[in-house]
């Protein structure tokens, strides 16, 4: 099915989110949509999906004008969408979530749960997803929840499929699997619009690239364009695509974790006698395939979860049995893995979210009451400093794009005196210009003398930010290596191969390649 958008314009008050946008996607084409956070990409797709009404312009399918008054109309016309923010009900099973709104029924209108389960199994098997149809959404890791969203869209046989930041919570391996699925769907004739900030993915899978800046199409590019060229088109200025930092100046133990063990409710060991020290003035990045204990380690550091054994000591003070509030008051800055559930309160304003863990402190509090003037002033300063694209600071944070929500969380945590920075997926869902800025601020936190832990599924980010890299495997630290360690060695370690064996294996592989060349 050919999709054509002609002159699409969408306004929110004085803000023009989409400004006369034209876009054509041919059958079987993967069209990448690039742009900064707040450029208008998700708004444009929400117009296409019937969530917003366009103020001007029209949508054509196979040359015929169509108008959608709801998402149901769009689905009926063959449009599928995987949203940036999950549209899942936490207490529903996978099968119930996939069937929601389009429930298969039996006699008397009863939901045919068996048929819904079978549908999930068939779609999962077709595309290589390993998803339990009876699992509760709230029990699934974010990467698996994203897969459920993808299954939900694919189960409706969409002719046009919109993927809005689908890889933001996926591991590199899961991302590669998704790109294989995208190519398979395109070969079968599905038109795909792919929104992402990750330039490597765009160059790997897209047939054509459209770049949007501040609501307008500023040009098209080919997948052969360099990352630097694409970044400049997106941001409107040259962007440094590597981390610019000097050598670390470690100043003694800042954070010490000794013999940490944690059992899951089912008895599984998720942290296995883990030892790790992070010195003041250094960045230790944690590498590992998602699900090897990184998220649980972050929760133990903040006090969300209490370990079954071991200790957490910060700057000489034992915090093992202290609650989250005590740890935050001690100067821990925490950027959570999932901003929507752990980093913000959707109904609160942008200004309120910028002081979410500091509202009891001066200058944001006067006695028992919050000071609106101080909160508003702080919001104004942080919005300018971190280039957060907003309407008004008094708007709910839910009105922002995902990347701008992430910038709110990062701005709040990095704009205080830190005794420790714990950054879990700090640049998830943000554009290349913002990644550059966030990396700079993380390095500044290190240079100010704070110990810094960065957990990231992006190996480029791990290698770029780290002074040392701790590789996690099955809840333990399999090795701590320098930041310039060969990536092939890191990959082997992430698969459970100890450092010495990984180095030897890598050298053996290099030797075999030399023999082949000869």
pLDDT of residue 102: 65
Residue 240 within a domain: no
Q: Are 283 and 454 in contact (CB under 8 A)?
A: yes
Same domain for 504 and 395, yes or no, is: no
Measured CA to CA, the distance from residue 454 to residue 442 in angstroms comes to 9
Residue 473 within a domain: yes
Measured CA to CA, the distance from residue 402 to residue 28 in angstroms comes to 28
Residue 464 within a domain: yes
Same domain for 109 and 163, yes or no, is: yes
Q: Are 4 and 12 in contact (CB under 8 A)?
A: no
Q: Are 40 and 51 in contact (CB under 8 A)?
A: no
Measured CA to CA, the distance from residue 128 to residue 185 in angstroms comes to 13
Residue 22 within a domain: yes
Please choose, from the candidates 361, 402, 410, the residue with its C-alpha nearest in 3D space to the C-alpha of residue 382.
410
Measured CA to CA, the distance from residue 84 to residue 33 in angstroms comes to 14
Residue 367 within a domain: yes
Beta carbons within 8 Å of 253's beta carbon, 6+ residues apart: 277, 279, 280
Same domain for 325 and 305, yes or no, is: yes
Does the model's pTM come out above 0.95? no
Same domain for 262 and 404, yes or no, is: no
Strands 332-335, 452-455: pairing is unpaired
Same domain for 205 and 118, yes or no, is: yes
DSSP 308: S
Strands 253-263, 309-314: pairing is antiparallel
Measured CA to CA, the distance from residue 188 to residue 27 in angstroms comes to 9
pLDDT of residue 271: 96
CATH of the domain at 305: 3.40.50.300
pLDDT of residue 103: 61
pLDDT of residue 473: 93
Q: Which two tokens stand for residue 293?
A: 């204990």
Please choose, from the candidates 184, 281, 274, 313, the residue with its C-alpha nearest in 3D space to the C-alpha of residue 476.
274
Q: Which of 201, 235, 269 is the last residue of a domain?
A: 235
Same domain for 281 and 196, yes or no, is: no
pLDDT of residue 515: 44
Please choose, from the candidates 333, 325, 286, the residue with its C-alpha nearest in 3D space to the C-alpha of residue 441.
333
Same domain for 501 and 424, yes or no, is: no
Stretches in the chain below the pLDDT threshold 70: 101-111, 508-518
Residue 155 within a domain: yes
Q: Are 320 and 301 in contact (CB under 8 A)?
A: no
Q: Which of 207, 235, 263 is the last residue of a domain?
A: 235
Q: Number of folded domains in the chain? A: 4
Same domain for 347 and 471, yes or no, is: no
* Alpha-carbon torsion (301, 37, 153, 161), positive or negative: negative
Q: Which two tokens stand for residue 105?
A: 């029924």
Residue 140 within a domain: yes
Q: Which of 213, 235, 257 is the last residue of a domain?
A: 235
pLDDT of residue 514: 46
pLDDT digits (tens, 9 = 90+) for 19-46: 999 999 999 999 999 998 888 999 999 9
Sequence-ordered strand ranges (E) for 222-368: 253-263, 269-279, 283-287, 309-314, 317-318, 332-335, 365-366
Q: Alpha-carbon dihedral of residues 126, 127, 130, 135, nearest 10 degrees?
A: -80
Same domain for 54 and 85, yes or no, is: yes
Please choose, from the candidates 330, 326, 318, 327, the residue with its C-alpha nearest in 3D space to the C-alpha of residue 298.
327
* Cα 122-3-188 angle, rounded to 5 deg: 35
Same domain for 385 and 259, yes or no, is: no
Q: Are 235 and 58 in contact (CB under 8 A)?
A: no
Measured CA to CA, the distance from residue 374 to residue 394 in angstroms comes to 13
Between the two ends of the chain, the Cα-to-Cα distance in Å is 50
SS3 133: coil
pLDDT of residue 229: 93
Same domain for 310 and 198, yes or no, is: no
Residue 244 within a domain: no
Beta carbons within 8 Å of 367's beta carbon, 6+ residues apart: none
Same domain for 359 and 327, yes or no, is: no
Q: Which two tokens stand for residue 153?
A: 């869209």
pLDDT of residue 104: 59
**What residues make up the domain containing 454?**
249-331+418-485
Q: Are 57 and 220 in contact (CB under 8 A)?
A: no
pLDDT of residue 34: 93
């Amino acid at each position: 099915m050919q999709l054509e958008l002609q002159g699409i314009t969408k306004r929110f008050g004085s803000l023009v989110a989409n400004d006369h946008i034209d876009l054509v996607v041919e059958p079987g084409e993967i069209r990448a949509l690039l742009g900064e956070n707040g450029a208008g990409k998700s708004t444009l797709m929400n117009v296409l999906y019937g969530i917003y009404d366009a103020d001007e312009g029209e949508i054509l399918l196979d040359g015929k004008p169509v108008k959608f008054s709801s998402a149901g109309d769009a689905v009926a016309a063959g449009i599928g969408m995987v949203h940036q923010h999950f549209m899942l009900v936490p207490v529903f099973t996978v099968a119930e979530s996939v069937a929601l709104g389009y429930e298969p029924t039996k006699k008397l209108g009863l939901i045919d749960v068996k048929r819904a389960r079978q549908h999930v199994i068939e779609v999962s098997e077709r595309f290589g997803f390993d998803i339990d149809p009876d699992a509760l959404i709230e029990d699934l890791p974010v990467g698996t929840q994203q897969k459920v969203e993808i299954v939900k869209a694919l189960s409706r046989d969409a002719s046009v499929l919109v993927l809005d930041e689908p890889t933001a919570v996926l591991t590199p391996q899961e991302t590669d699997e998704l790109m294989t699925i995208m190519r398979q769907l395109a070969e079968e004739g599905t038109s795909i619009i792919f929104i992402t900030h990750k330039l490597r993915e765009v160059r790997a899978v897209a047939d054509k690239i459209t770049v949007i800046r501040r609501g307008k199409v500023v040009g098209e590019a080919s997948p052969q364009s360099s990352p630097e060229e694409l970044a400049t088109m997106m941001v409107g200025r040259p962007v440094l695509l590597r981390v610019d930092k000097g050598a670390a100046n470690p100043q003694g133990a800042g954070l010490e974790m000794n013999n940490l063990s944690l059992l899951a409710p089912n008895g599984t060991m998720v942290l296995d006698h883990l030892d790790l020290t992070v010195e003041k003035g250094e960045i230790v990045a944690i590498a590992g395939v998602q699900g090897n204990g990184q998220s649980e380690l972050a929760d133990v550091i903040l006090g969300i979860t209490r370990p079954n054994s071991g200790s957490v000591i910060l700057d000489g003070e034992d915090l093992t049995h202290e609650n989250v509030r005590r740890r935050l008051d001690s100067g821990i800055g925490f950027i959570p893995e999932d901003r929507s559930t752990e980093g913000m309160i959707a109904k609160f304003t942008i200004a309120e979210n910028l002081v979410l863990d500091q509202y009891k402190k001066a200058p944001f509090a006067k006695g028992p009451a919050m000071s609106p003037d101080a909160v508003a002033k702080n919001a104004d300063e942080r919005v300018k400093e971190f280039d957060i694209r907003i309407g008004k600071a008094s708007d709910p944070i839910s009105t922002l794009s995902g990347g701008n929500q992430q910038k709110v969380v990062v701005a709040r945590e990095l704009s205080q005196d830190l005794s420790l920075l714990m950054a879990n997926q700090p640049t998830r869902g943000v554009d290349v210009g913002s990644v550059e800025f966030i990396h700079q601020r993380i390095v500044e936190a290190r240079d100010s003398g704070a110990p810094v832990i960065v957990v990231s599924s992006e190996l480029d980010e791990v290698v770029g930010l780290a002074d040392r890299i701790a590789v996690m495997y099955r809840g333990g630290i399999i090795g701590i290596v320098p930041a310039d360690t060969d990536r092939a060695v890191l990959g082997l370690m992430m698969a459970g191969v100890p450092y010495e064996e990984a180095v030897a294996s890598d050298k053996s592989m290099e030797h075999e390649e030399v023999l082949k060349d000869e």
